Amino acid sequence: MIKAPRGTRDLLPPDTARWNFVEAAARDVFRAYNFHEIRTPIFESTELFARGVGEDTDIVSKEMFTWEDRGRAESDRGQSLTLRPENTAGVVRAYIEHKLWDRGLNKLFYIGPQFRRERPQKGRYRQFFQIGAEILGPSAAGSESPTRDAEILELLATFLDRIGITGWTLELNSVGCPNDRATYNEALRKALGPLAPKMCVDCQRRAVTNPLRVFDCKVPEDQPIIETLPRISQYLDEPCRKHFEEVQSILKAVGVPYKLNDRLVRGLDYYTRTAFEFTHGALGAQNAILGGGRYDGLSESLEGPPAPGIGFAIGEDRLVMSLNEAAENLQKKPDVYIAALGSGMNIEAARLARELRRQDVITELGDENFRLKKSLETASKIGARYALILGENEVKSQTFAVKNLATGEQVSVPRADLPKRIKADS
C-alpha cells in the first residue's frame, strides 16, 4: 500500500473545519491590523536559506529538502533548489525583487506549508503549516520603531484570545544587534573555551563557528553547562536596551503579559533585538505555538537595501492541537436534504438544489430510486436540519413538504419561500 511520506499527514474532515476556523479568524485579525496577503513560491534557491537563515542553524545544516534542478534548455540553467523551511527569507527576497520599499511600510501575512526534515513526533512534522506575518520597510517609514514590536505581540495575544486559546505564555528577550553581538560572541567564546570539550559534537563546532547557536542544543547533559554561560541581556548596548524597554512599556500599557527569558535566542541567524515565543502547556515537548522577532539586517545580507523588519510564524498544526473547540461543532451541517421520490424527480431535485444553493442554503441530494424511509434516515445521519420531499405532486403544486428532523414537525412551503424558511433558524 502506498502511504503518505514519513512526517506528512492527510488532514481530513471534520478536522479541516478547525483549520478553516483558525485561518478565517487569522484573516479577520490581519484585516483589523491592516495586513495584506503575500504568496511566495514553496521552493526557492538554496542559497536564499543558506544566506538568510544561516549555514550553522539546524534548519539549514540538517533539515532542508534540497535537490539539484537540471535545466531543460540552455536558457534554463540548472540550480540548487530547496522546499522552503520557513517564509521570512522568501518574503524579504520578494521585498527586494519587487522594490517594495516604494510602498513605505509593508505589512504582509501568509498562510501555507513549510518543510523541514526533522525527526517526526507529536507536534513536529516534515510538512507543517504556518500562519505568519512580517512588517518591513525603510527605517523612515517607522519599521524600526518599538511600536511595531508591540503591535505584533498585541496582535498575537488578541488572536489567541479570540480563538479561545487560554494558558499561553509570551516569552520575551532581546538578542541585541551586530554592535553588541560582537562583544557577546567574544564573551561566549571565552566562556566556552574550557567547557566545549565536555559538550556534544554539535556544540564543539558551534563554539567555534557561531557560539550563539549553543543555546539551540537539546542534549540534556549539556544543559547545566549552558546554564552557566553569560547571557545576552548583560551585553545589550544603550540603543538596544532602550528599544527593548519601550517595547515592554507598551506591552504593559496595553495589558499583554510576558515573561522575560534571556536564554531565548531562536534557532535562526537573522534575529536582532526583540525575539519571542508563545508557548502552551498542553503541547508537551514541542511547546512553542509560535515564534518570531526582529531581523533588522536580513535584507542587507540578501543584498537588499536596509529594511528593518519584525515578524512571526504560528505553527498551525500546534495551534489546532491546542484548540478546545471540537471539530464536529465547527463543521457546518447541511440545511436541507432533498428526498426525490419517483421517476423523473432527479431532474427536478437538481433544479431546486441549484436554486437553493445559489441562496447559500447548504443542500444535499438523494436519488429518486431511494425509498422515503432511506432518504429520511440518510438526512438524519448527515445531520441535515430539514428533509424536503419532492415528488410529482409537489412539483405540480410548487409547494413542498419540509420536515424538521429534530422535532418531526412537517409544514408545506411554497417554492419561493423555501430559502428564507429553511435558513430562518440556522
Q: How far apart are CA 162 and CA 159, in angstroms?
A: 5
Instruction: With CB under 6 A as the rule, give the number of residues binding ligand HAM.
Output: 25
Q: Smallest distance, Å, CB 219 to ligand HAM?
A: 19
Q: Smallest distance, Å, CB 123 to ligand HAM?
A: 6
The answer to whether 318 contacts ligand HAM (rule: CB under 6 A) is: yes
* All three cell numbers of 230: 553569560
Q: How far apart are CA 111 and CA 279, in angstroms?
A: 20
Stretch that binds ligand HAM, among 23-31, 218-226, 311-319, 364-372 (CB under 6 A): 311-319
The answer to whether 88 contacts ligand HAM (rule: CB under 6 A) is: yes
Q: Smallest distance, Å, CB 11 to ligand HAM?
A: 13
The answer to whether 308 contacts ligand HAM (rule: CB under 6 A) is: no
Stretch that binds ligand HAM, among 194-202, 230-238, 306-314, 399-407 (CB under 6 A): 306-314
List CB contacts of 29: < 8 A, sequence separation 6 or more: 155, 158, 159, 162
* All three cell numbers of 259: 515573561
| Residues 262-281 contacting ligand HAM, CB under 6 A | 267
Closest listed residue to residue 259, CA positions, set 142, 194, 168: 168
Q: At CA 91, angle to CA 72 and CA 154, rounded to 5?
A: 155
- Binding residue for ligand HAM (CB under 6 A) from 292, 297, 304, 308? 292
Q: How far apart are CA 111 and CA 39, in angstroms?
A: 8
- Binding residue for ligand HAM (CB under 6 A) from 92, 313, 340, 384? 313
In whole angstroms, how far apart are CA 217 and each of 7, 154, 266, 280? Answer: 22, 30, 11, 21
The answer to whether 288 contacts ligand HAM (rule: CB under 6 A) is: yes
- Binding residue for ligand HAM (CB under 6 A) from 86, 144, 151, 296? 86
Q: What is the pairing mode between strands 386-390 and 66-69?
A: unpaired
Q: How far apart are CA 296 and CA 298, in angstroms?
A: 6
The answer to whether 132 contacts ligand HAM (rule: CB under 6 A) is: yes
List CB contacts of 425: < 8 A, sequence separation 6 or more: 385
Q: Smallest distance, Å, CB 281 to ligand HAM?
A: 14
Q: How far apart are CA 189 and CA 196, in angstroms?
A: 9
The answer to whether 176 contacts ligand HAM (rule: CB under 6 A) is: no
- Binding residue for ligand HAM (CB under 6 A) from 15, 118, 237, 364? 118
Q: Are 204 and 198 in contact (CB under 8 A)?
A: no
Stretch that binds ligand HAM, among 141-149, 222-230, 292-300, 341-349 (CB under 6 A): 292-300
Task: Give the binding site for ligand HAM (CB under 6 A).
Answer: 86-88, 116, 118, 124-125, 128, 130, 132, 134, 267, 288-293, 295, 311-313, 315, 317-318
